[in-house]
Structure 1
């Protein structure tokens, strides 16, 4: 599995700010509605429900919110880079500026976990994160995310 299989080019965005985690989830929900034809309200509810189990801020300015959703036939993702980092209740208490959201079908098994592991590995790479943080063009962010994994696998 590669990031390009779960992240559509139009699923990458730079936003100047989100004032709260909930507002961030609304931005993700609008993107998900456009990219994956899912109901935005359901996306927000699913993300908030998952977040209530424990924060998905994994540290070093990275968050990996994820949820299972009705109406999906495969695992898919969205990426946001925030100009202004957001408090996300991360494990290291650092604000988040790189957000990769994953959505999986309700019955998704190991594919959901594989996608989460892939994204986590990619965003643990300091050089990838540095490149992402130094760019605000959506197409460039997409290229960084999708090319890095292929070069690492070679």
Structure 2
């Protein structure tokens, strides 16, 4: 699995300010709705339900909110770079500025886990995240994300 199969170019955004975790979930849902045609209120509900099980702020300024949804046939993602880090109740209590939302079909067991592992492994690399943070342009971010595997493989 590769980022290019998870992300559409218009699903990569730079957000100037997000006031709360709930607002971030709504912003993610609106992007999912506009890019992938999935009903925003259902997305918000699924994200909040998943978040209630445990925070998806994984540390070092990274959050990986994710949800399973009916009505989609493959795992899809949204990447957000926040210009102003926000409190996300992360495991290390650090504010979040790198957000990768993953959305999978309800019945996608292994594919969802593979996508989550790929994103988690990639965004655990401090140098890679520093590169993302240094390029606040959606098209550059998309290129960095989708070319990441070929660079890591070299």
> TM-score when scaled to structure 2?
0.98
Question: 1:27-52 deviations in whole A, cap 9, x for unaligned?
Answer: 11110001111100001110000000
Which stretches in structure 1 are left out of the alignment for 5+ residues? Answer: none
Task: Give the aligned length.
Answer: 154
Report the 3-state secondary structure (helix = DSSP H, G, I; strand = E; otherwise coil) of the residue aligned with 1:136.
Answer: coil
Question: 1:99-137 deviations in whole A, cap 9, x for unaligned?
Answer: 000000000110000000000011011111001111111
RMSD: 0.7
Q: After the TM superposition, which parts of structure 1 deviate over 6 Å for at least 4 consecutive aligned residues? A: none
Determine if contact 1:50/1:67 at 8 Å carries over to the other structure.
Answer: yes
Using the alignment, how far apart are the partners of 1:65 and 1:150 within structure 2?
25
Query: Is residue 61 from structure 1 mapped to residue 61 from structure 2 by the alignment?
Result: yes
Using the alignment, how far apart are the partners of 1:111 and 1:141 within structure 2?
24
> TM-score when scaled to structure 1?
0.98
Question: 1:8-63 deviations in whole A, cap 9, x for unaligned?
Answer: 11110000110000100111111000111110000111000000000000000000
Counterpart for residue 150 of structure 1 = 150
Correspondence list, 1:124-139, <5 A: 124-139=124-139
Counterpart for residue 13 of structure 1 = 13
- With 80-89 and 142-151 compared, the bigger mean Cα shift is at 142-151
